[in-house]
Structures are given as C-alpha cells and as structure tokens.
Structure 1
Amino acid sequence: MSAVIDQPIVRTEARSRAHEIWRIVRLHAINPSVFFGIPWIILGSAWAVMMIVGLIITGAGGPTEDMAKGMRYSWAVLSPQWYLVVVGVQAIGLTFSFALGFGTTRRDFWLGTSAMFGIVSFLNAVAIATLVQIEKATNGWGIGIAMFDSLWYGQEGWLTDFYSTLAMQLLVLFIGASVTTVYMRWRMRGMMIVTFSAIALFLAFIAIFTFSGSWMALFEWFGSIGVVGGFSIVLALAVVCAIGGYLVIRRATPR
C-alpha cells in the first residue's frame, strides 16, 4: 500500500501545440536586446548622425532642399537590416540545442522561431512606417533632414511602408536562420555547397541578362510592378527560405 502511495505522479496529458510554440517565443524573448535593443540602437545612432549633419548644414546657412535630396539616398534607414541577418543566425545557433534539451520538437522550434520573427518584423514595420510619417509631418524633424523619408519610403503611404519593411525584415531574418540550419545539418561541406551554388546562380543570372540584352526590359518590368509588387517578391523569397529552413532543420543534429 505504502509503495503505491509513494510512487511519483506522472503527468501524461500532452501540452497543446500553441503552448509549445509560445514557449519557444518566450525562449527567444529572454534577451530582448538581441531582437529589439541592438537594431534600434543602430537605427538611433544613424538618426543621431543625420541630425548632427543637418544641424551643421543648417547652422552654416547651407541649402536645406539640396541636403534633403542628398539624404534621401543615404540608405541610413536600412542600417539595422544587416544586423538582422546575424539575429537570424543567433536565433537558431544559440537556442536550438537548448530547446531540444527541454523536450521541444524540431517542428515546434521552427514554428516558434518563425512566430518570433513575425512579431519582430511586424513591430519594427509599424514603428518605421510611423516614423516616416512623423518625419514628413515635422518637415524633417524641424531641420529638413531625410532619414526615414528616403529611398521608396514616404511615396505611397503608411501601409506600403509597413508592407515593404515587414517583407524585408522577414527575408533577412529567415536568410540568417535557414543558412544556419544548413550548417547544423551538413557543417562546412553544406555551407560550401550553398555558397558556391548561390554564386553560380548569381553569375548565371548576370550572364543570361547580359548576353540577351534584357537588362532594360527587366528594369522596366520592376518599374511596372511598383513597390508593392517588388516587395511581394521579397516576401515570397522569405517564405521560400522559411520552408527550406524547416525542411533542413528536421534532420539537423546539434553538436
């Protein structure tokens, strides 16, 4: 009787899929500076530099209209994108083994990581699209600079700015994550194959359009589909990377 009573109670009910996915999201959010802090420090630093340059030019009596036109091509608004590739790498490389250690499945890990990428991209897209509108409404923060209202931003409204930022951030995050799954599955051999294959495809693309004289037709086609059409292609590439990463991580073995 006592032996039966002393036996530990084992919980056999299965956790829901949503619970497991959310647990991975919480795992990634343990250190929020990786996803939110450092990217916005980079963007804020770029904004501070632009403000200082703008104050110097306006203080010296320079032409603010020419300054704004030049700043529209500075690419400063895209400064966090390059770091987000690293974020995608870290999201897989630093947490995959730990997540498997506490019992999650590879599928739930990838779905949770994808959900985290979606949350980060959504919030950043809302913030950047809103900052574009604030910059336009304040005439370049009162001194005529063009930090956020640059490149294609600010031309077709808040929703287009939001959509383009969302698509772009999802792409760079999933590129970093999917490349890391290749490394975890096949190590350096896989990385070398992927790298050389990507270079070969890129060179083949250039050769085909160069020898066929189709560059102008390609540029005209991109112009015809507009910003939304162009970033729909970017979003499709992000989906391809997400699916490819999932297929690879199913066989990946942490070491």
Structure 2
Amino acid sequence: MNNRVVTAARLNVVDAKVRLGMPWLVVGAAFLINLLIFVLVRSNVGETGPEYTGALAALYISMAAAYIQTMTQTFPFALSLGLTRRHFYLGVSLVVVMESLMHGVLLTVALAIERATGGWGMDLNFFGVPFLVQSNPVLQVVVYTVPLLALGFLGLLAGTVFRRWGQIGVYTAAIGSTLVLGGLAVLITWQQWWGSVGEFFSATPDLALVGVYPLVLVVLAAAGGFLMVRRATP
C-alpha cells in the first residue's frame, strides 16, 4: 500500500482514544439512560415483555458526524503537510472501513452479552434491534458494519461537498435531496404503489436490506467523494 495513503490514515487516528472512544461514550450514556428508564418502568408496572429501543442510532449518527468533521478540519491540515487530495481521501476511506468493522465486531460482542444476560436481566434489547439481529455471528458483524460504512462515506461526501462548494453547496445538496425524495413520494402516492413498496420491504430478507443494499450507497458515496475531493479547497 502507498506510504502516503498509510500516512493519511494514521493522521486520522492520531487522536484514536477520542475518535474511537467518544462514540462508545455516547452509546454508553444512552444505554445507562435506557436501562434506568426500564428499571423504573418495571418497578412501577411490573413485567411488560421484551422491550426495544432505537438509542443505538446514536453510534451511527456519531459515525457520520465524525467524518464530516474529518473533511472540514483534518483535510486542510493534511494538505498543509504536503499530502495530496487523492492520498488523503484514500487514507481516510481506509479508516472508515477499519473503524466500521471494529464497531461491528464490538456491537456483535455486546449483543452476545445482552443475549446471555437475558436482556440485562429485564428483557431489554438495546443492541438487539429486531431487523439487525442475525443467528450467524459473521453475518451479525456484516449487518452492523455495512450501515456504518454507508454513513461514514456519506459523512465524507457531505464534508467534501462543503469543501468544494461551501455552505451553498451543502444547502443545494440538501434541497436537491429533499426534492428528489419528496418527488418520489409524490409519484408513489399518485400511482398508489405504497402497497407494493411495503410488500417489497416485508418480503426482502433483513440481511439484504441492511447488509447488501447499503453497499450500493457505499460505492456511490465513496466514488462521488473521490471525484469531488480533487477540486476541494482547503
């Protein structure tokens, strides 16, 4: 592997304890709050059956935010050190892949502990989000990792848009995305396709929805960011 790519990757993990640990501090705080809430609920109303929470989304949001920050803060510094835009983007892409895989493995371990303890002793499914749970540990890592990859590269793409066109570019991209998604919703409603859309999602295996299809988004976001970063300004 090119030494400059490795250098760019290392530059992005200089503050590894903060970069990799902070998302888990956020997750830990969310977990403790949810645990306390469910303890209070159980003490007041008794057994209520398995409970689910969407607080794990905090980790995924942190992933996207971290890579937006990478492009807005670390990118200019990297160029001042003599790294090229291409080498920096390839290096940070390597970090996205490695970090996503690390989080995926840790989430799988946390899920195993959650299962072994009966949902932390109270049927609380914090890590066991229904559509993410797989019986095979390897597939479990995959379904945790791929959405993290997608959000990481989307964060890079958003940061690259900012570096290329500034706030106008970000607003334009946001408005354009809203118009496209809104237009799609109007079309589906007009053609009365919502039933078919629901059937598609219900008939498609969860593994494909969260472990395969998001890879298309990963490829598009990564390629788009790579093409735009060549003209990005520090």
TM-score grouping bracket, smaller chain normalisation: over 0.9
User: Which residue of 31, 34, 47 corresponds with 2:15?
Assistant: 31
Name whichever of 127-136 and 244-253 sits farther off. 127-136
Q: Deviations over 1:84-114 (max 9, x none)?
A: 2210111111111111122211111001000
User: Which residue of 108, 120, 137 corresponds with 2:99?
Assistant: 120
Secondary structure (helix, strand or coil) at the match of 1:75 reads coil
The residue that corresponds to 1:19 in the other structure is 3
Name whichever of 240-249 and 193-202 sits farther off. 193-202
Q: Normalising to structure 1: TM-score of the pair?
A: 0.85
RCO higher in 1 or 2 (8 Å CA, sep ≥ 6)?
Answer: 2
Provide the C-alpha distance between the structure 2 equivalents of 1:205 and 1:86, rounded to a whole number of angstroms: 27
What is the Cα deviation at residue 154 of structure 1? Answer: 2.8
Provide the C-alpha distance between the structure 2 equivalents of 1:214 and 1:228, rounded to a whole number of angstroms: 24
What is the Cα deviation at residue 58 of structure 1? Answer: 4.0
Q: What are the residue-to-residue correspondences of 1:193-232 with 2, within 5 Å?
A: 193-231=172-210, 232=212
Counting aligned pairs with the same residue, the percent is: 26
The residue that corresponds to 1:44 in the other structure is 28
What is the Cα deviation at residue 160 of structure 1? Answer: 3.1
* Cα root mean square deviation, aligned: 1.7
User: Which residue of 85, 101, 118 corresponds with 1:106?
Assistant: 85
Secondary structure (helix, strand or coil) at the match of 2:131 reads coil
The residue that corresponds to 1:76 in the other structure is 55
User: Which residue of 219, 222, 227 corresponds with 1:239?
Assistant: 219
2:168 corresponds to 1:184:
no
Checking the alignment, whether the CA contact within 8 Å between 1:117 and 1:170 is kept in structure 2 is yes
Name whichever of 154-163 and 109-118 sits farther off. 154-163
Unpaired runs of at least 5, structure 1: 1-16
Provide the C-alpha distance between the structure 1 equivalents of 2:233 and 2:84, rounded to a whole number of angstroms: 12
Aligned AA for 2:85? R
2:64 corresponds to 1:85:
yes
- Name the CA shift for 1:245/1:58 in 2 (closer, same or farther; >3 Å): same
Name whichever of 212-221 and 187-196 sits farther off. 187-196
Q: Deviations over 1:145-187 (max 9, x none)?
A: 2211223233544233321221111111111111111111112
Checking the alignment, whether the CA contact within 8 Å between 2:71 and 2:163 is kept in structure 1 is no
Provide the C-alpha distance between the structure 2 equivalents of 1:150 and 1:187, rounded to a whole number of angstroms: 37
